[in-house]
Amino acid sequence: MGFDWITQEFSTIGDTQHPWGYRDPFPLDEQRFLCAYGGPAQRFRLFLHDLADRQRLLYEDASLHCFFPIALSPVARPPSIAAYASDLTESASGLPEEHPADAQPMGTCVLLDVYQGLGPAIQRGRVKSIRIMEQLRKTEDIPVTPHVVEFGPRAYDQSPLMSYATYYAKRCWGEVPVEADGSAHFRVPAMREIYFQACDDEGRELQRMTSAAQLMPGETIGCVGCHESRTTAPPTSAKVPIAARRAPSQPHKPAWAPDGIIDFVSVVQPVLDRHCVKCHGGERVDGGYDLSGDKSRFFNMAYDNLLGRSQSYRQHNMDTGEMLPQELAKGKPLVHFFWLLKTPTAVNHVLGSGSHASRLPDFLTAEHCGAPVPPEDCRRVYTWIDANVPYYGTYATSRPRSGGKRDLCADPLTGEPAEWLAKDFMPVYARRCASCHGAYPTDGRLLTCWDGRTAWLNFTRPHCSAALTAHLAKSAGGRGINHQADGTAIPMFADTSDADYQTMLHALQTGSRQALDTPGPDMPGFKFTRREP
């Protein structure tokens, strides 16, 4: 039937903040519903509303907001299921050691056949496990007054900034086996936002669930397959699925992430340090890629180079989920990811996202790295990519007024562009760099770019910043890039004694010192560490 726009008071809403509005509709019949309404008094009260946009006040409080009206009527109490009474939580002894003594409440999932819905691209026997992922609820805000919360300026449409892609911290609860007939039977953390991934024997995602499930303690749910048609009923068969004939599998968090949080610095960076940084880091950046853990403007060098320097972002058709033709023509990205603001509403295409849609796994070989890369190290990288490339594992921040609450190019107190950037670095950049590279984004608020520019500044080793080394003569330790219109190469900085080079270097050194004074959660000395729920 489509949608009706009922409340004519607002011509549009969009992803913006309003001091009041309509919320929490509860239907009474096909014409009338209850709702909470805040205007024009800006205190929410409970109203009766109808499709003709007529409203009647039902209840208000002189000092408190009122939300979530629910119509109640007496009903007979449903019978209790005795078997559930002792199954609300797993005992501490029945859980992995990382769980606290007050055990995580659990539910159970029974999957009949994972291949139902995957299509012919995935042959039977290829799916080896189901990975259980959690999208953690946001916990960060800034109370300005007891009743007003400031969400802060955004970067990449996020506050706080979490990554180039997902807006959320992610947790991996582990993988559970899929039987030969495609069935699975496993425990699921209850009262959490959970989604599943069908994985192969390497731990690489074949298909990703892009909605979510939430179980209550002791609840059992059943799935027909993986992205099967919503009009599909479970197949009628007298044969009991193999997995249903045994006790449910218990997921175990990965050994390399004891709390399950997929944090780039602790999960992925150690792999890059072991196998990549000797050729791609610091003063040696083969191919122009710096995969070190040095701090960049919002993230670190490795993260910015893998996703931004490589221009990995590819936009998909919002309706069909297919990659746009002009994006497809660019070839497979180094690391595939969805920017959450522009994620398609269609069902994911099999093998169309995550690690199988990325080139990075092709480099995790003995031929490229000079020695075999252990499967567990590869699995870390695959899990990170398949989690939609999160960087931060916490919502906690130290720069609440800056872009995304994490911008090192901003004053930590005001959020305005830092003095070292505005007064020292930018005049040189504008005079000697902007004609080729365009304007550098000094204000990180609302910043959205995937072209690697946020990796031009190195706050750990300022002298390794690409803004300095890219156009420094090779004889002086730089990369010597500076092509003139006639094809000749004349480095912009002949050596490090160039006055403009020194001005930019001193500016970045100042920015580095200030960054250490107000470190973020990916830096030593962060003062607001907390464990996410």
Parse the chain into domains and list their residue ranges.
Answer: 1-73, 85-245, 266-278+302-386, 403-517
pLDDT value, residue 33: 96
Alpha-carbon gap, residue 191 to 63, rounded angstroms: 32
367 phi/psi in degrees, rounded to 5: -65, -40
Q: Which helix (H) or strand (E) holds 36?
A: strand 32-37
Question: Three-state DSSP class for 196?
Answer: strand
Instruction: Measure the CA–CA gap between 353 and 335, rounded to whole angstroms.
Output: 10
Q: pLDDT digit string (tens) for 265-306?
A: 999 999 999 999 999 998 888 888 999 999 999 999 999 999
Q: How far apart are the first and last CA of the chain?
A: 40
Q: What's the confidence (pLDDT) of residue 83?
A: 55
What token pair was written down for 227?
A: 């992205």
- 525: exposed, middle or buried (Cβ count in 10 Å: 0-12, 13-18, 19+): exposed
SS (H, E, C) 429-444: HHHHCHHHHCCCCCCC
Among left, alpha and beta (phi > 0; psi -120 to 50; other), residue 485 is alpha
> Count of CB atoms within 10 A of residue 288's CB?
14
Instruction: Point out which residues pair with 472 in neighbouring strands.
Output: 493
Which pLDDT score, from 0 to 100, does residue 273 have? Answer: 97
Could you tell me whether strands 106-111 and 220-223 are parallel, antiparallel, or unpaired per DSSP bridges?
A: parallel
pLDDT at 289 (0 to 100): 93
Identify the pLDDT of residue 319. Answer: 92
Sites in the chain below the pLDDT cut of 50 = 85-102, 143-148
What are the pLDDT digits (tens) for 440-483? 999 888 888 888 899 999 999 999 999 999 999 989 999 888 76
Whether this prediction's pTM lies above 0.95 is answered by no
Residues shown for the chain: 533
Question: SS3 for 170?
Answer: strand
Tokens of 331: 């070839």
CA nearest 440: which of 423, 463, 456?
A: 456
